[in-house]
Structure 1
């Protein structure tokens, strides 16, 4: 008897569930906010954010994913310090050289030229003037100065910190040094296997790139 009652109850629940379904009208939604979120217009005024902010702000002290700190200021002193102290943490391998060449062709050759002689397409068309060659004796560029200029920009050259990540900038540094060596008649540096590569010298704290203030050559 009990089993018959139980079967009848189950059948009643199933029939009730099917009968409540109507294809022309949506079923009931429980917790509808889980289905449909509230839409906010960009830069609109809403009380949902604290202090009438336009959006939620990142936590104090947090940094974007993949962003590494850089402790040299965008100034003449910062440029000179980077030029003297900053070293490439990547090994000088053929693989990094090839990657650096590809990136150089994308970002640098249009002004600096494929050979680093300052005779890029924009220079030849006289769109930009005064781009020096990498073997210019008055420049004495180093690993650190190349990286610093790519990070902040200098004179008419803008920053490439947004277009390239840290690893890519150092690969470009290796290729620029290769071009400089070839212009000077030297063999480019290639590290042999098994040689310990100097650790990354980038300190732990920095500010994001600001307006270009460096004017060193």
Structure 2
């Protein structure tokens, strides 16, 4: 009887071990904990969804809203808008709100590649003749002002593209202050 019980135990144990061994496959994981993390459901961009009332996943901002950190810029992207900004637009920042050392970093990232670190129009792209005709900040024919610099940063001009999406409104005005500081230094060294 004892031998029979021992034989049954061995047989049961053998069946259990065989079943575990037969289910194991080295090329595929046996069990997945939370399978949705491994095999996510693919969604198509702008596909219909029950999450929103109109059925579209991407939502358009309500009319008249302004993104955080932005404000309305009432000067048009025209020659008339540029001239109006040049004559009337003034910086809302005073000199105590602008840290020229920190702003130099922004200038070096976005402007110096073309305009040069001194604002003399001798950036690396100009020196390598990739872009031609980048003017100096102290060019008397240009007579740049706070408003004209801001308008050009906002909309771009000629070969220069817009930087309104790369720089916040405060950063744009800080760069304007830095450009005017470079202009004064260039005019001072020319005398």
> Same fold per TM (> 0.5)?
yes
**Mapping for residues 106-185 of structure 1, pairs under 5 Å:** 106-185=109-188
Distance in structure 2 (CA, Å) of the matches to 1:94 and 1:105:
20
Shift of 1:55: 2.7
Give yes or no for contact 1:134–1:141 (8 Å, CA) kept in 2. Answer: yes
Give yes or no for contact 2:103–2:174 (8 Å, CA) kept in 1. Answer: yes
Residue in 2 aligned with 1:70? 73
- Say which structure, 1 or 2, has more relative contact order (CA 8 Å, 6+ apart): 1
Cα deviations across residues 63-107 of structure 1 (Å, max 9, x unaligned)?
Answer: 212221111000001000000000111112485222221211111
Gaps of 5+ in 2: 1-40
Say yes or no: does 1:101 pair with 2:110: no
Shift of 1:39: 7.4
Cα deviations across residues 40-78 of structure 1 (Å, max 9, x unaligned)?
Answer: 431324576566645322222112122211110000010
Give yes or no for contact 2:86–2:145 (8 Å, CA) kept in 1. Answer: yes
Post-superposition, which runs of at least 4 consecutive aligned residues in structure 1 deviate over 6 A? none
Give yes or no for contact 2:156–2:163 (8 Å, CA) kept in 1. Answer: yes
Question: When the two structures are aligned, how many residues end up with a matched partner?
Answer: 149
Shift of 1:170: 0.7
Distance in structure 1 (CA, Å) of the matches to 2:96 and 2:105:
14
TM-score (norm 2): 0.71
TM-score (norm 1): 0.63
- Structure with the larger helix share: 2
Gaps of 5+ in 1: 1-37, 187-217
The structure whose Rg is larger is 2
Cα deviations across residues 148-203 of structure 1 (Å, max 9, x unaligned)?
Answer: 000000010000001100111111111100111111118xxxxxxxxxxxxxxxxx
Residue in 1 aligned with 2:60? 57
Distance in structure 2 (CA, Å) of the matches to 1:185 and 1:125:
27
